[in-house]
Structure 1
Amino acid sequence: MNIRKQMWQWPLAMACTLAMTACVTINIYFPAAAAEKAADKIIDEVWQEGQHPKSNDEQKPAAQPSAQ
């Protein structure tokens, strides 16, 4: 009877260990103010890129070589 008792103790111990380690959760919290500030900065950068007029070089068509 002692052998039968040992046969199920090892799997039971492993199952309990696995169940306990599976319950570990890692939560990461970001400060709301910092996240909002970063989002505002990105939005401002995107808006500023859209407001810059193109330079004169970008507006002129490429010069055509003259045929001689």
Structure 2
Amino acid sequence: MQRKLAWIVQFVFATMLLSACVTINIYFPAAAAEKAADKIIEEVWQLEDEKKEEKEEKEE
């Protein structure tokens, strides 16, 4: 019984040790990320411009 428990503990430990060594790297293309960021910034500026125009229209 003790041997079986020892094997199970060793197996679990070895599995945890091996899984801890796995690294997942995700690479994003820089050009695509920059293009997406520019698009988001443009959309934000457009929204801000629209809000300013609405505010000016209300004040008039």
Q: Deviations over 1:42-61 (max 9, x none)?
A: 11111122223228xx617x
Runs of at least 4 residues off by over 3 Å:
6-10
Superposition CA RMSD, Å: 2.9
Contiguous gaps of at least 5 residues in structure 2: none
Q: In the alignment, which residue of structure 2 is the partner of 1:63?
A: none
* Percent of aligned positions that are identical: 52
Larger Rg: 1
Contiguous gaps of at least 5 residues in structure 1: 61-68
Task: Give the TM-score, by structure 1 length.
Answer: 0.56
Against the structure 1 CA distance between its residues 23 and 59, is the aligned structure 2 distance closer, same or farther, given a 3 Å change threshold?
A: same
